[in-house]
Structure 1
């Protein structure tokens, strides 16, 4: 091969959890949607690397790994190097990561990159996996980042569309009539740092102190998810918005809401959004809003007035999962 010749390219979508975060920890279902924001990964041959592997990222710069010990020197890029090696990528290779998904926003940036890298690395070796086999390989990257992730982000990146998720061993895609010309998702990064560990542990501790009450909340969350499945099948996005607001209330009741999230949801609702809720662990991080396309700019403008430090990202539901060029 010639120097710096592309061997394979792949992309995978980000995700947003519409219903069920926290409750899925105790076996309740969640609904996740793939997003039109995507991570793109290219695997190239570059003989000038002299047996090393270079990882380049628009967000985190670049690092050249020549020995296993080098992985300790680059916190953000090391998991991708470890994933590439586990997939059989040897030296003289460059991995280029270009992502449309803002890192640290709870939109599955690391998972979509891990999935795209897995697909591209396997293609470079003349191999191709799909579905659960591809998920299993890509989970190596997610575990390097997050320890014991549920896998919901990786499933969304591989499968695309809307997914009803219980666990890595139990999920299925949902049919939906929600048209992308009708509604958009606005993802509001509140600017408040996420406290995922504190949020998860706090909920689990409160559950242990009030098991009878919390069980009722968790059962309500399950009923809400199954109703949302029906809304998706009907293409009833007004219903989806109402249920997202109800889910937000449940998340607030278990102690993971925060002031900026409440401001975003209230302001958006007052200016025409169909619904909104915390997405992810809460106690910081992002809010997802579902908005009719005709009201998008007004909602965006008013939210930014109310929470000046926020960032707003536009995304559409994405039916396409991982794709190899």
Structure 2
């Protein structure tokens, strides 16, 4: 028996990094996807196949002891196996057309697709249940995740998200076409998050001001989207970029 699931990548249009600290963000799913195929095995092994390599670990191996890129899959496999004692092992295969390390949500899409694929061997989860487990899987790599990326990878479309109120679809932007370019500059989410935390620690007053400015910007963006005002939208993207430059996470 096999279970196959896929999820889209994402782009954060506004609020990137600030969303971790409670401000709203606007995100969009993109037309690049991750597909995960899961199957039962009889060898008491969790096997993960991906373009990053192959991992074989005994069932019940602590996910903390494996390389970070494999942790979500080992975590999810053990969660499911623990709940279903008659399972001896799992093989999980990841195929992705999302570029890695460029901010397009490859990790989050993997978590969402893997949760749906692995759980599909046992039972079908609701979107809400799948999202909750996906976020827990993502926390094995990024403990401070806001949950925004997994949310848009679960529901698709364009959403507004914040940590307190969750997400809502932005139907005003349903016909918005976006062109995404890859700067080819290596990107580390972990290091970027650390930079932002350091900025906040060094100058909490200015960081609070930037969060307030970002929240105001999101409100203005929503008005521009409602009015189909692409000129204002472009100007707001430039303004958003200045805030990212100030917290030292812009290329």
Give the alignment's TM-score, normalised by structure 1: 0.68
Unpaired segments of 5 or more residues in structure 2? Answer: none
Which residue, out of 28, 53, 65, partners 2:23?
28
Q: Residue in 1 aligned with 2:70? A: 77
SS in 2 for 1:176: helix
Give the stretch that moved more between structures: 225-234 or 149-158.
225-234
Provide closer, same or farther for how the CA distance between residues 219 and 126 of structure 1 changes in structure 2, counting only shifts above 3 A: closer
Q: Residue in 2 aligned with 1:117? A: 114
Query: Is it true that 1:96 corresponds to 2:93 in the alignment?
Result: yes
8 Å contact kept, 1:150–1:168: no
| Cα shift at 1:201 | 2.0
8 Å contact kept, 2:33–2:98: yes
Query: Is it true that 1:158 corresponds to 2:154 in the alignment?
Result: yes
8 Å contact kept, 1:119–1:129: no
Which residue, out of 230, 237, 240, partners 1:247?
240
CA deviations over 1:261-312 (Å, ceiling 9, x no partner) = 2xxxxxxxxxxxxxxxxxxxxxxxxxxxxxxxxxxxxxxxxxxxxxxxxxxx
8 Å contact kept, 1:164–1:171: yes
8 Å contact kept, 2:159–2:169: yes
Q: Within 2, Cα distance between the matches of 1:92 and 1:193?
A: 32
Q: Residue in 2 aligned with 1:57? A: 50
Q: Within 1, Cα distance between the matches of 2:130 and 2:95?
A: 20
Q: Residue in 1 aligned with 2:163? A: 167
Q: Residue in 2 aligned with 1:179? A: 175
SS in 1 for 2:179: strand
1:126-205 equivalences under 5 Å are: 126-130=123-127, 132-167=128-163, 169-177=165-173, 179=175, 182-191=177-186, 195-205=191-201
Provide closer, same or farther for how the CA distance between residues 69 and 217 of structure 1 changes in structure 2, counting only shifts above 3 A: closer
Which residue, out of 40, 49, 55, partners 1:45?
40
| Cα shift at 1:146 | 1.1
| Cα shift at 1:112 | 0.7
| Cα shift at 1:20 | 1.1
Provide closer, same or farther for how the CA distance between residues 234 and 123 of structure 1 changes in structure 2, counting only shifts above 3 A: farther
Q: Within 1, Cα distance between the matches of 2:188 and 2:144?
A: 21
Q: Residue in 2 aligned with 1:314? A: none
8 Å contact kept, 1:87–1:118: no
Aligned length: 245
SS in 2 for 1:107: coil
Q: Within 2, Cα distance between the matches of 1:135 and 1:169?
A: 15
**Which of 1 and 2 has greater Rg?**
1
| Cα shift at 1:70 | 7.1
Provide closer, same or farther for how the CA distance between residues 34 and 192 of structure 1 changes in structure 2, counting only shifts above 3 A: closer
8 Å contact kept, 1:115–1:158: yes
Q: Within 2, Cα distance between the matches of 1:129 and 1:244?
A: 34
